[in-house]
Amino acid sequence: MENITVKDKEFEIYITSEKIQEAVRTLAARINEELKGENPLFISVLNGSFIFAADLLKKVSIDCGISFIKLASYQGTSSTGDVRTLVGLDEDIKDRTVVIVEDIVDTGNTIVNLVDQLNAMGPKQIKIATLLFKPDSYTKDITIDYKALEVPNDFLVGYGLDYDGLGRNHEHIYSLVSS
């Protein structure tokens, strides 16, 4: 498959759309099994998780709801560590099982910040589902319940992931070509 250029950088194919779909199917099957009867509220973290959330929810067959929040912590190709809430949650999650849906958990700053915010709203329990997990970068103690794929510390774009706002639209996931 051909390399792509996003803004000023070159990226090579890393995970094909077929492999992504297979991982999403496996993860949805686990959720269907483990959260049956819970009527969970999925909370998709925008912008990055919109494609993953859509594909995942199409394969979740138990009763559930979905809502969206918008956070930002990245600038260019590195995490700033400072997490801002751009659009908050408009749903009551008191005593409800919540599943956070993330595109990628990197250092874990975003997820820890979000779990703190949601815990203050009194949910029954919080589960975390992420398409990608970077184990070598993760520095937190919170358990990531549902990880579709583990990846090394490379910078990735595509399938919702961006480089400076570009590249989210590609159906495969690509990694930065080191020059």
Q: Which residues are catalytic?
A: 106
Binding mask 81-100 for ligand IMP (x = CB under 6 A): --------------------
CB of residue 125 to ligand IMP, shortest distance in Å: 21
Q: Which residues 6+ apart lie within 8 Å of 75 measured at CB?
A: none
Does 103 interact with ligand IMP (rule: CB under 6 A)? yes
The yes or no reply on residue 158 touching Mg ion (CB under 5 A) is no
Residue 160 binds to Mg ion (criterion: CB under 5 A): no
**Site membership for ligand IMP, residue 145 (CB under 6 A):** no
* Total residues binding ligand IMP (CB under 6 A): 18
Nearest distance from C-beta of residue 153 to Mg ion, angstroms: 16
Q: Using CA atoms, how far apart are residues 155 and 177, in angstroms rounded to an integer?
A: 9
43 or 111, CB closer to ligand IMP?
Answer: 111
Contact 49, 102 (CB under 8 A): yes
Which of 40, 48, 123, 167: binder of Mg ion (CB under 5 A)? 48
Residues that bind ligand IMP (CB under 6 A): 48, 73-74, 79, 102-111, 155-156, 161-162
